Structures are given as C-alpha cells and as structure tokens.
Structure 1
C-alpha cells in the first residue's frame, strides 16, 4: 500500500496454482448442479500457509475427474480487475495456451490517464452488518419468456429492452412481494455498469482495458410502488437508471458529484451482477468453451444478491443464482418468479 492505495508488486513469482484429482466423474456429482455434492473448498484453491489471503491477486486450482473432464476454480482480487477485465485476462491466457502469437485483444492499462476523483474522507465508526439466513436458489428463465416480455415492452412503449432490464424487473417485483415488508418500506436495487465506452480518448483502446471500470447504479422505491407497478413500468425504471449512467459517471470522474452511492445494507437492498455477458463463457484453453460457469458465493450473508449466468449447454435463456431472500420467504419468492420462467 502506498498512500493508502493498493499497488501490485511485480516480482515475477507468478500465481498460486494447484493441481488436483477427484476420485469420481462429473456425472456422478450431477455436473456440479445445485445442491453441490462436493464441498466447494475442494474445488477452490486454498491460500499457501505463509500468505495473507487479501494479498493474493489470483489463485487457480485445476481439478481433473475420472471421466477426463476438469474444473478450473479461481479466486481473484476485485482490487485489480472487474468481471470484464478478469474475463479478458483469462481469454488472453487461453490464447497463449492455444499457441497464438499474442492475445487477440491486447491488454491496456494506462490507468493514470483516467482522472482520479477527489477522495471522500471517511468519518465516524465502521459500519455494522446484519447477517441474514439467505436461501440459495437456482432458477432458469427461458428465452421464450424473456422474448415475450420484450415484445410486450415494445408494444406498450415503442422502445427496445435488454435481457438484463427484463430479468431484473422480474426479480425486483417478485422479491418485493415475497419480503413481507410494510407498504412504505423501501426496496432497493444496486448494480455496477461498465463505463469503458465512456473512456474513448482517454485510453488507447477501451476494449483492452482490464482494470476496474465500473460505476454503481441504484434504484429505490417503496414496496407498495413496486407491487402496484406493472412489469413494463419497472423495466422503464431500470432502463432510466441505466440511461443516466454517462452523466453521473462523468460528473463523478471530474469531481462534480462526490456522493454517488449510498444504500443501506438492510434486507430491503439487493445487488445484481450479470455474468452472462462478461465473456467468461468464451474462455478457451484448447478444449473449447466451458460447459458451465458459476460462482461459489454461498457464504455471502450480509447483502442480498442475484447473479445472472448462462445455463449449462445446450440450454439457453438466463440462469439465476440467487441469495436474495431468507429461508422463510423463499417459497413465495420462487412461486412468483416461476410465473415468469
């Protein structure tokens, strides 16, 4: 750390890499579908004894199964790269593994070219966090259901909608109904949007930038408002928040808007993350793209979360990895969400 800022010490030591073997086939453990039939710690690399976990930028474990298939378990530091940057890094690893002369997308850093906004001093005690008993749920939303909702939105508004907007609106409505909050209680949605497209002229290649390049977006409405609003209106709410991104990000980057994200971490708040389009499903080490990419975040209990994935091949649509409602609210939430499936 230099002046409170993290730095990467390029020592040439490489990353922590583990090779492992399993005594079963992937079929015997249902291809790692939930609920997992093996402890997740057996699929992920454990930090070396002499290391501090928070200092490890990247750790990898390759586990080979008796069927010849294998998993790649990865732990990475969000201080260094976001999801798009991480996927780009691993695509470059795949390019080299396939003996290409150089990565298809050349990496770009040039972080110093991006204006650094003024630091906001932290005052007062550290925040306290409530630990929730979130249920782990996996729900597939079909491509047909998403397409029907997009058609409905187009018919009523004359505008296009994205898969992210449609699926996020579905979850927000179902969750508001399931939480059993007072009508005036807020339900909040947070997600991080890539801002690479706003850095043309500052970076030699925005496609190659692999660092963190995100801006948080927040939506907040009362439970009653979300419950009464038609799905099309909730989609418009999310779309409007996304459309304000460029103005808010540029204002923040140049110090014109210091307070950009402040949502209480209570039960009313949920964060969503879209893994389906960051490129993780395109990584190829020489055996073709992975059949399935998914997180192992079952111990995240301080903030409700929803992660969007591509379902295992040959399925299509969106797979939702959900930890966003308590066990006692999971039945109602699932019943509501399956109406959209």
Structure 2
C-alpha cells in the first residue's frame, strides 16, 4: 500500500522508576553460556496487537476505569517498562569487558532501555494485520538507537507503534548475551503485568549466573566464517490436522509420541536437502538450542525466575541420502534421537568432558539452524489489550540457513514455519517439497 507513513514521535532512554534513593552501581558476572561470543547479537521481533472492541475482560484488566481505558498503549508500556527495570536492573545497564577474553560483565548503571513511541497513519486492516508479505518495512517498526550507537551495547530496545484503529505493534530488539528466549519473554511478561496494574510480579527474577556450569575453557578453534549465501524467505502455514496426522503415523510406527517441533523441523530439513540435491554421501546437519533448565533443577531456584541463557546446542548429523531418500518418519526419529542425547551431552560439557566446544557454532551451507517461538511465553503477553494476534521474529542472518516455528494470526489455526534456508535457484523445488509432504 503506497503512502503509508510511520512517524517516530518521541524516543529516549527509560530508566528504572525509583521511589528510594538510586542504588549504587553493581557489576554482575555473566555465565559461561552468556559469554559465548556468538550470542553478542540482537534478536528482533514484531508483536502485533489488534484492537478488540468487545473485549470486556481486557477493559476490566485495565483498571475498569474510563480514564485508564483511554490511555495510549505507548504511554502505558513506557511506564510499565520503567517499573519493570527496578526488578530487572541488568536490562537498564551496559555490557563491559571482553567476551572473547571471557571477562564480560553487566554493569548496572541504570542508563536505561531505549524506547520509541511512533504512530502509523493507517489501520492494521489497511496493512493486512501486518501479516506476510509485510506492507510496512520492519525497519520502520523496530527501534533503532541514535546514530553512532552500537545496538549490541544496549540490552533491550522497544518501539510501540500505534495504528489508527487502536491496535499497536511492539517492536523488540534484545541482545542475546543477557537472556535466552525464555528469559527475554519472562522480562516482557513482567512489563505486561505492571501495565495491567499488578503491584507484584508473578515470577520474581533471579540472576544466579554462578549456578550455571563453568567448565574449563577450551582452546579457541578457527574463527567462524560469515559467508553470505543469499537465502530467500519462505513462509508456510500448516493446519493442526495435518500435523496431528503425522504424529499419529509416528506413534503407530514407533510406539512413541513426537511433537509439533519434531514434525515441522524434520519436514524443513528433508525438503531443504532434497531441493538443494547435495551429493548422497555429503553430511548435512540440523542444529537447535534446547532448554536445559530441567537438567539443573538441583541448583536453580525451585520457583523459577532464572532469565539467563540456559540452553545447549543439539546438532543432528546424517548423510544427505539418508535425509532425502528416507520417509518423513525416519527423519523425525533422527530429530528425536538427537533430543534424547541432550542430558548426556550437556552433562559431559558441564564437567569439561568434551574436546570441541559445542557452543562454538559453524555457519556453513549444510547447517540448518532452527528455533521454536511457540513455547517461550511471548504469545501470553498481555499489556491490557489482550494477547498478540501474531508474532514475527527476525532471527535471520545472511550467513545462516534458518527455520523458525511460530503461529499464524489468531484467526487461523495451525503452525507457521518461517524459513530463510535456500537460494533463489532452489526456492521453487523447496516450496514444492514443503507442500508435497501433506
């Protein structure tokens, strides 16, 4: 749609709201996982909230007062962010020290999180609810710091763009060094709880980085290469019935359950391998980042609240022939076998019983990186206007083949698979393979 304008009306750092004298600066040590150099990058996403005229429950959650109901989302979220930074001071701080030397820390300087208020001169309906293909550039809806400021130096940035219909979009940019997906969602949910008027957080934040295993540091391997492959975007929605059909087939064949993640990722890995037509004996890999909080229940707080990086990179390797020529159920079994190895592999890493650092990732054409955004907690965020209709993650880099598992807008049911993993010359074959699975 031509002529759409997004205007940034106000931008500044939001600092913690303190009723008492400001606390002294505190320097907090990061965990061995936080300090992985590859995590010093931003994770960007858009969270779309449509206006719900008939949502009486949402109105009640906004204090049930007419004055409160008339407040703008940007105003409410800005104030809630300031309040949440009191409990989550590291998000208002700055990174100091060198990740590569293993001495990086977070200094709680209270300099604040970057916050942008913006307005769009159209309704969300005018831009198809901000569904694919995007009719507004993500760069207009995502916050950007002032010129000359390194975005990876600010732990969290937010932009709230209000649309003429009353709906709004929250653009988030978070540095992975401070929190993994579950941790970042925990912080955003804290903001939403204060936005709804809660006086106390449901889950109290816990720093506790010293409780994460800290094995002896391995000698660094060769520096990773960052070759740009020109991978193209492709998005596909799969209805729940089709996923359920594959799950039933897998159970009947193996006597075990499989997850939506298993089905979707096996589907992408096989389709990509077939479309690219690697030589049969060529090794192909799929890598996903598995949550390990359940493996640390003896040391992490029983009530939860830990929001640091707590994951392990699980890599599944097979020949291209085995992935391409086998059935989908065979590829699902490979994924599940990889997940089953997680406890042992994480335990070995924790004690230093590895020769190669599993967190030192390799970005090559034959490696597919996957992530699941459906279980992180972002879909439960409610600032007082209801939960998001859909979320658009931008975890893409030119040097990574990626697949992201999400959800279609709420009016649809099923699973959304967002990919950037094949070049233009393979895109049509990849689409055909994806659509032929069901």
TM-score bracket, normalised by the shorter chain, equals over 0.9
State the alpha-carbon separation in 2 of the partners of residues 263 and 72 from structure 1: 30
Matched, 1:315 2:409: no
Q: 1:174-185 alignment to 2 at 5 Å?
A: 174-185=271-282
Change (3 A) 1:134 1:50: closer
Residues 183-212 of structure 1 show CA distances to partners (whole Å, capped at 9, x for unaligned) of 122221000000000111211236311100
Shift of 1:297: 4.4
Report which stretch shifted further, 254-263 or 228-237: 254-263
* Cα distance, 1:304 vs structure 2: 0.3
Match of 2:212 in 1: 114
Partner in structure 2 of residue 169 of structure 1? 266
Give me the whole-angstrom Cα distance separating, in 2, the residues matched to 1:76 and 1:307.
17
Q: Is the contact made by 2:247 and 2:258 (CA closer than 8 Å) also made in structure 1?
A: yes
Deviations 1:3-29 (A, max 9, x none): 633222212232010000111111111
Counterpart of 1:82 (choices 173, 180, 187) is 180
- Pair 240,250 (structure 1): closer, same or farther in 2 beyond 3 Å: same
For residues 170 and 351 of structure 2, the distance between their equivalents in structure 1, rounded to whole angstroms, comes to: 40
Alpha-carbon distance in 1 for matches of 2:211, 2:235: 41
- Computed over aligned residues only, the root mean square deviation of the Cα atoms, in angstroms, reads 1.6
Is the Cα contact below 8 Å between 2:224 and 2:363 reproduced in 1?
Answer: no
Paired residues for 1:222-261 under 5 Å: 222-261=319-358
Instruction: With the length of structure 2 as denominator, give the TM-score of the two structures.
Output: 0.75
SS of 1:148 mapped into structure 2: helix
Q: TM-score, normalised by structure 1?
A: 0.95
* Matched residue SS, 2:393: coil
Q: Secondary structure at the match of 2:232?
A: coil
Structure in which a larger fraction of residues adopt strand:
2
Superposed, 1:58-207 pairs within 5 Å as 58-122=156-220, 124=222, 126-205=223-302, 207=304
Q: Which sections of structure 1, spanning at least 5 residues, go unmatched? A: none
> What's the offset of the Cα at 1:260?
4.5
Equivalent residue, structure 1, for 2:428:
331
Is 1:268 paired with 2:366?
yes
Q: What CA distance in whole angstroms lies between the structure 2 residues aligned with 1:127 and 1:204?
A: 35
Q: May I ask how many residue pairs the two structures share in their alignment?
A: 339
Matched position secondary structure for 1:293: strand
Q: For each residue in 1:229-265, what CA deviation from the matched residue of structure 2 results, as whole angstroms up to 9, or x when unmatched?
A: 1211111111011011011111111212242536642
Q: Aligned to 1:8, what secondary structure does the other structure show?
A: strand
Range moving further from structure 2, 109-118 or 73-82: 109-118
- Alignment equivalent of 2:379, drawn from 266, 270, 281: 281
Match of 2:402 in 1: 305
Q: How many Å separate the matches in 1 of 2:225 and 2:323?
A: 28
Q: Quickly say closer, same or farther: Cα 1:206–1:224, change in 2 above 3 A.
A: farther
User: Higher mean Cα deviation, 257-266 or 237-246?
Assistant: 257-266
> Which contiguous aligned blocks of 4+ residues in structure 1 show a shift greater than 6 angstroms?
none
SS for the counterpart of 1:208 is coil
Distance 1:219 1:182 in 2: 18
> Residue deviations 1:269-319, cap 9 Å, x none?
110000011111001111111111111346x21010000001110222210
2:218/2:357 contact within 8 Å kept: no
Contact kept? 1:146, 1:163, Cα under 8 Å = yes
C-alpha separation in 2, matches of 1:210 and 1:113: 12
Measured in 2, the distance between the counterparts of 1:280 and 1:4 equals 31
Separation (CA, whole Å) in 2 of partners of 1:218 and 1:206: 30
Kept after mapping to 2: 8 A contact 1:16/1:58: yes
- Higher CA-based Rg: 2
Shift in CA distance, 50/333, structure 1 to aligned 2, threshold 3 Å? closer
Q: Does 1:32 align with 2:130?
A: yes
Q: Distance in 2 between matches of 1:140 and 1:178?
A: 19
